[in-house]
Structures are given as structure tokens and as C-alpha cells.
Chain A
Amino acid sequence: MSLSSRMIIVLTSVGIISGGFLASVGHLTKNRIALNKQMQIEEAIISVVPGTSSSQKLYEEKDFIIYAGKDNNGNLLGYAIYTSGTGFQDKIELMYGINPSLTIINCLTILEQKETPGLGAKITDKESFLKYWENRDSSGSLSLHKPASSSIEELSQAEINTITGATISSEKVLQIVNLSLEQLKSLKKDGKFGSEGKDAS
């Protein structure tokens, strides 16, 4: 057998055998990986819309998904908004819960971030950042309280406290949320979603 045909045969068979192994491993783990992703989303929805027993995807576009959180009787408790945007270093993915009339943000959770450890990464920390997102007035757009305030009472209803040393990361999260709030309100105005809210009232 000539050298070139031997090379072709060897490379092809190595490729085919490896491909076969990968296909079977991919097949075996596919469901489990999809399940993990699903579970992560569901956990996030329950954490931002407390009391949710079932959720439903209402609207989806790139980097923006609206889920409806419903209780056992099918009443709408609120919407969980998944959205993402650029942070200080990389993409920040987050989810927040909002009431059906879109006026109050329940709370916010960060799903994915690669901010500076110890500084920007504090956006995932409840004490330094996330607690300031609880029960915020979202009828207008939110703003940042700079410099950071030590007591939550100093903040107005539509203000979020800055993280000391991580102003940019705090600002980025705020921008991502404000942008999605606008999007959310205009979608509701256009009637793209929200009709299912009727049976809740």
C-alpha cells in the first residue's frame, strides 16, 4: 500500500472512530445538559417571582425573554425577565422579577458574570448589591445612588446603591435593566404579551 493511501486510511478511520465516540457521548449527555439549563432558569424564576409553581415563556428575542410566573391556581404573580448585556469585562446575564403592572421590581439575580473578582463580582452579593434591588419602583427608569450610601433609607424608591470600587459594574447592571424595562413596557403597549394578566385580577 502506498504511503499516501495509508495516511488517508489512518486519518479517516481515526476521525470516524472518534466521531462515533463523540456522537454517543453527546447523545448520552444531551438531555441531562438541557435539563441542567432548564433547572437553572426555573430556579431563577422562582427566586425572582416568589411563590411561582409554574412558569411559561411568553416572549423571546435575542438576549431578552419574558416568563410568566403563576401560582397553583394559575394566577399571574409576576413576570420574570431574563436579559443580558455587556458588563465591565464580559457579558452579564441576569433575571429580575416584576409585578404584572410593571411598576415594582421584586428582586434581581445575576445568572452569569465575569466581573473582577472581589470588586465587580460583588454584583452577585446580596449584602453589597442585590438587596438594593428589592421592591424598587420601576414605573420610570431606575437610577444609581452615587457615591454609595451606607443605609438603605437614604435611597429613593427608584434608586440603586452603587458598589464602592465597582461603579462601572453597578452602572452596567443598571443600564441592562433600564434598557429591558423600556423594551418590556413598549412590548406591553403593543399588546405582545400581558393579556394573560386579566385572569389574575
Chain B
Amino acid sequence: MPAKSIVQEYIKGLWKENPVFRQLLGLCPTLAVTNAVINGIAMGLATSFVLIFSSIVVASIKKLIPSQVRIACYIVIIATFVTMADRFLQAFFPPISKSLGPYLPLIVVNCIILGRQEAFSSKNSVGRSLIDALGMSTGFIIALLILSSIREILGAGTFLGHQVMGAWFKPWIIMILPPGAFMTLGILLALALFIESKTKKKTVKRTV
């Protein structure tokens, strides 16, 4: 594997390997909780917490774990951090914990986290794993933020609970319902692919 600079390791999570738009991982929480910006942010932060700490732990004990039981070990480690995040939100931010509902404990099965442990942390140093986790987390938060902003503004006419659309605006209720999530994600994915194909052409031309 060619060594990447620390900056590249971080940047790749934002766009080139963005977990939602490029890798299509973690779509269940992405679709389910992005009906309001505050939920998107909370889900993004909770997932980041779990991802960052599991990556550090997995990277630091990777040599001790026999490869036959590695997945089971990762899951136990991830589940521990998820439960900690869940209890913390229940204790200090009960309204957020309530609106995220079952999707908070379900971070355990979020493929971004297990995927990064298997694909990255189990093969790289603690430092690099941390940078990678930070990059992936930022990419995930950005994706949730875009999706939830579109859905909240069109579906409720508000942003973070503040009215942003005029009185003339009739909220598109469908946007805060599940179909709105699928439509928004579909359009965003198409957009991401479109941008990707454009930039690819440019670089090809340049090299020619």
C-alpha cells in the first residue's frame, strides 16, 4: 500500500471515499434520522464518537487479536462504545435520545464503523487510524448535514427549528417521511456521481 500523507488520509473521507456518497455505507441511519438537522448532527456526532474510539482501540490491540475472532472482538468493542454513547445521551440529552430512538443503539451495525476497522484500523498504526476515523466521521457528518438540511427546509420550512421559509411556503410533508429520504439521497448520489465523472474527465484531459 503506498503511504499517503496524513492530510490525504484525512481528506479522502470527505469526498473521494465519503462513506455515504462514495462508499454507500451506513445508509440506514442516513435515511432514518435525517428528518431534522438536529437529529442529523446528533447521529453524526454519536457515530463519530464510536468510530474514533473503536478505531483507536482496534488499532492498538490489533496484534493481540487472532484473525479468526477479530470480527467478534470488533463488534464487542463497537457495541461497548455505542452503549456508552446511548447512555450518555439518555442521561444528558433526553430529547435527542428520544428522537433518535432505536437508531442510536443500531450504530452497532453501521457498516461504516465495522468497515473501517476491517479495512483500515486492523492494518494501520493508531495515529493513522485516528486520522482515518476523523476523516470518515467528518465525511459522514457532512453527508447527514446536507441531507437533513434539504429535508428539514423543504419538509418543515425550518432550519434547526428556526423558520427560514416565508409564510407563503407550504411544507412538503413527504420530505420528512421515508420517501423524502430516498428521493433526496437518490438525487444527491446522482449529483455526486455526476461531479465525479466531470472531474475525472478533466484530470484525464490534463494528463493527456
Does A33 interact with chain B (Cβ within 8 Å)?
A: yes
Chain B residue numbers with a CB within 8 Å of A10 are: 64-66, 69, 73
Would A22 and B91 count as touching, CB distance under 8 A?
A: no
Would B88 and A29 count as touching, CB distance under 8 A?
A: yes
Does B35 interact with chain A (Cβ within 8 Å)?
A: yes
Would A29 and B87 count as touching, CB distance under 8 A?
A: yes
Q: Which of A11, A22, A40, A119 contacts B84 (CB 8 A)?
A: A22
User: With A and B bound together, what is the CA distance between A21 and B155 in angstroms?
Assistant: 41
Of the stretches B20-28, B75-83, B103-111, B113-121, the one at the interface is B75-83
Q: Which of B73, B98, B155 has the most CB of A within 10 A?
A: B73
Does B92 interact with chain A (Cβ within 8 Å)?
A: yes
Q: Which of A10, A26, A32, A40 has the most CB of B within 10 A?
A: A10
Would B87 and A18 count as touching, CB distance under 8 A?
A: no
Chain B interface, DSSP helix/strand/loop, else mixed? helix
Q: Which of B66, B76, B171 contacts A118 (CB 8 A)?
A: B171
User: With A and B bound together, what is the CA distance between A25 and B77 in angstroms?
Assistant: 14
Interface residues on B, range: 20 to 34
Chain B residue numbers with a CB within 8 Å of A118 are: 155, 171, 173, 176-177
Chain A 1-19: CB-based contact to B (< 8 A → 1; otherwise 0): 0010011001100110010
Does B94 interact with chain A (Cβ within 8 Å)?
A: yes
Would B68 and A21 count as touching, CB distance under 8 A?
A: no
Does A116 interact with chain B (Cβ within 8 Å)?
A: yes
Chain B residue numbers with a CB within 8 Å of A26 are: 87
Q: Which of B76, B87, B94, B173 contacts A119 (CB 8 A)?
A: B173
Would A14 and B77 count as touching, CB distance under 8 A?
A: yes
What's the minimum C-beta distance from B21 to chain A, rounded to whole angstroms? 25
User: With A and B bound together, what is the CA distance between A149 and B104 in angstroms?
Assistant: 41
User: With A and B bound together, what is the CA distance between A112 and B95 in angstroms?
Assistant: 11
Please report B residues at the A interface, Cβ cutoff 8 Å: 35, 64-66, 68-69, 72-73, 76-77, 79-80, 83-84, 87-88, 90-92, 94, 98, 155, 171, 173, 176-177
Q: Which 10 A-B pairs have the closest CB atoms?
A: A118-B173, A29-B91, A32-B91, A18-B80, A29-B87, A36-B94, A7-B69, A117-B176, A25-B84, A33-B90
Q: Name 18 extra pairs, CB < 8 A, besides A6-B66, A10-B69, A18-B80.
A: A3-B68, A10-B64, A10-B65, A10-B73, A11-B69, A14-B76, A18-B77, A21-B80, A21-B84, A26-B87, A29-B90, A33-B91, A36-B90, A36-B91, A36-B94, A117-B173, A117-B176, A117-B177
